[in-house]
Amino acid sequence: MGAPTLDCQTTLKSRVSLSGVGVHSGKPVSMHFSPADPDTGITFVVSRSGEQTGEIRALFSEVGSTDLCTVLGDPAGLHVATVEHVMAALYAMGVDNVMIEMDGNEAPILDGSAEPFVDAFEQVGLEKQSVSRRYIRVLKPIRVENGASWAEFRPFAGTKFEVEIDFADKAIGRQAFSAPLEADFFRTEISRARTFGFMKDVERLWAAGYALGSSLENSVVIGEDGRIINLEGLRYSNEFVRHKMLDAMGDLALAGARFLGSFHSYRGGHKLNAAALHALLSDRSAFEIVETTRRERGRSIEMVAVNAPVFAPWNI
């Protein structure tokens, strides 16, 4: 990562909105992103019929479900579903504090990627705030396993993601991708990767109340013969693993701060990402909270440990 620089929290310069349908609910929803004060983090404000029904903070302690998507809150009550794409965009583009007002319970799927969110944030720009950004620095290896699947955090001088997938379907197969957490790289190499699914699973998902808003406009669909049904084809030759990385970034953004370390997963998904984050944050010897600060009358900048929560107590 090189010599540290004085790193400040950021928010959006002004309000920006996006509208679409939920990929699982199929219901229309609008999201309005507004600037927020330092140290407030990311908060979802859910409303119905114009009246606010509640707030949910974008923190791991609020995860209520990881079946097919990441859900914050109570799935049977106040909740926000499919937050991983918007959280990945906020995380990678460096937005620390924002209030997100929604008139529904599921984030819009848009084109199935994080690119529309990135475009919206770049449209209004970011504003630097006069408070240091805090990081979660990984101090020792933490690993979780579930059958043949596994995920782990390791100490690393920077932030790196390594994701590997392995599908029996010939359209996907085994793919691996490694990437730093950098805004420019995310914008061009990850943000455009779309969610994907198999035509053979559609009827089962519909019967279970999922994928009601899914279409060829917002998902890469693999047919019974193993071919990509979408006329435009793939946006990247390995779009599937890049989307899995996008999901992992969004899920790990719920730590409440960026982490300094490497994250590596094999055959992962929302549930495994959540399990790895839980394992890390439940072991206080595995991480420390750090921030950059000026030393020696402003002549040098160091990254030092601070005895402070990130945006909330560790409610895990």
**243 labelled as ligand-binding?**
yes
Predicted confidence (pLDDT) per residue in 270-310, tens digit: 999 999 999 999 999 999 999 977 665 556 667 788 866 55
Share of the chain above pLDDT 90, in %: 77
| 172 band by pLDDT with thresholds 50, 70 and 90 | very high
**264 labelled as ligand-binding?**
no
Specify whether the CB–CB gap between 269 and 245 falls below 8 A. Answer: no
Phi, psi of 180 (to 5 degrees): -80, 165
309: Cβ contacts below 8 Å, ≥ 6 apart: 289
Q: Which residue has the higher pLDDT, 309 or 86?
A: 86
SS3 53: strand
Residue 311: predicted pLDDT = 47
Buried-state track 242-278, b at ≥16 Cβ within 10 A, e below 16: bbbbbbbbbbbbbbbbbbbbbbbbbbbbbbbbbbbbb
Of 40-54, 149-163, 247-261, least confident by mean pLDDT is: 40-54
Find the mean pLDDT for residues 194-198.
Answer: 93
Residue 300: predicted pLDDT = 63
Specify whether the CB–CB gap between 39 and 98 falls below 8 A. Answer: no
Distance, in Å, from the CA atom of 112 to the CA atom of 1, rounded to the nearest integer, reads: 32
Distance, in Å, from the CA atom of 187 to the CA atom of 54, rounded to the nearest integer, reads: 32
Q: Give the chain's domains with CATH numbers.
A: 8-305 (3.30.1700.10)
Share of the chain above pLDDT 70, in %: 91
Residue 316: predicted pLDDT = 39
Distance, in Å, from the CA atom of 113 to the CA atom of 276, rounded to the nearest integer, reads: 23
**32 labelled as ligand-binding?**
no
Residue 203: predicted pLDDT = 76
Distance, in Å, from the CA atom of 66 to the CA atom of 273, rounded to the nearest integer, reads: 9
Active site residues: 270
* Pairing relationship of beta strands 42-48 and 51-57 according to DSSP bridges: antiparallel
Residue 299: predicted pLDDT = 60
Distance, in Å, from the CA atom of 151 to the CA atom of 87, rounded to the nearest integer, reads: 20
